[in-house]
Amino acid sequence: MARYLFPRSFNVLSRATIYGGLLIIAFVSWVFGMIWRSSYVTDVGSPVDQPVKFSHEHHVSGLGIDCRYCHITVERSSYAGIPPTQVCMNCHSQLYTTSPMLAPVRESFRTGQPIPWRRVNNVAGFVNFNHSIHVNKGVGCATCHGPVDRMPLTWKGAPLTMEWCLQCHRNPAAYVRPRDQVFNMEYQPPPDPSERAELGKRLVEEYRIQSKTRCSTCHY
């Protein structure tokens, strides 16, 4: 009779170990993926402390100021542009002129030193993102930045990960809007799905939008 180094029961144990190890690896990968997409890592929804407590909600919803009044280069440059202190003082040289909260603004205007705003939305240094291209192709501000008009303090409205960006690049018809509605924070697409799909398809053709997913589109 042949003798075996290990009893036959080890076959069951080895299979259980292999399959169990694969399940553990898959579970750990899933947990890691969930953490990587969570607001804890992406900072989505977390207000960023600024040297001046600027409220988009007050200025956009309350006063009706258009995005382009402050972000003056958004339609023609890769950067939206941080408003210079002079833009703030166009109003605040007459309004709330002694407010302690606006002391850094007055000091910046007096000394000529820019206000050290902290960046809220950012992409990695190896990513090339151009605001003007997206704006002129019908991508609304709220699509990437969230409901800025309802932010008393500004926070990140979307994760801005490659996975998130590719959702739009693969199916731009689902995200574009008429160009004259890009800066309208209250814009709503047609409620009817078929009508919404038809509008997206028409805008993609009219604006000559391409579904670009090649690496060189953003990384070069």
Res 5 pLDDT > 80:
no
- pLDDT grade, residue 38 (50/70/90)? confident
* pLDDT per residue as tens digits for the range 116-166: 999 999 888 899 999 999 999 999 999 999 999 999 999 999 999 999 999
Res 2 pLDDT > 60:
no
Q: What is the DSSP string of 75-125?
A: TTSSS--PPPHHHHHHHHTTSSTT-GGGHHHHHHHHH-PPP-PPPSS---T
Which pLDDT score is estimated for 58? 97
Res 86 pLDDT > 70:
yes
CA distance linking residue 202 with residue 146, whole number of Å:
24
CA distance linking residue 122 with residue 101, whole number of Å:
26
Contact by Cβ (8 Å): 155, 44:
yes
Print burial letters for 198-209: b (CB count within 10 Å at least 16), e (below 16).
Answer: ebbeebbeebeb
* pLDDT per residue as tens digits for the range 183-194: 999 999 999 999
Q: Where are the domains of the chain?
A: 9-37, 56-82+119-217, 83-116
- pLDDT grade, residue 6 (50/70/90)? low
Global pTM reads 0.82
* pLDDT per residue as tens digits for the range 20-31: 888 888 888 888
Q: What is the DSSP string of 132-152?
A: HHHHHTT--HHHHH--GGG-S
CA distance linking residue 66 with residue 63, whole number of Å:
9
**What is the residue type of 77?**
S
Tell me the mean pLDDT in the region 54-78: 96
| Mean pLDDT of all residues belonging to the chain | 92
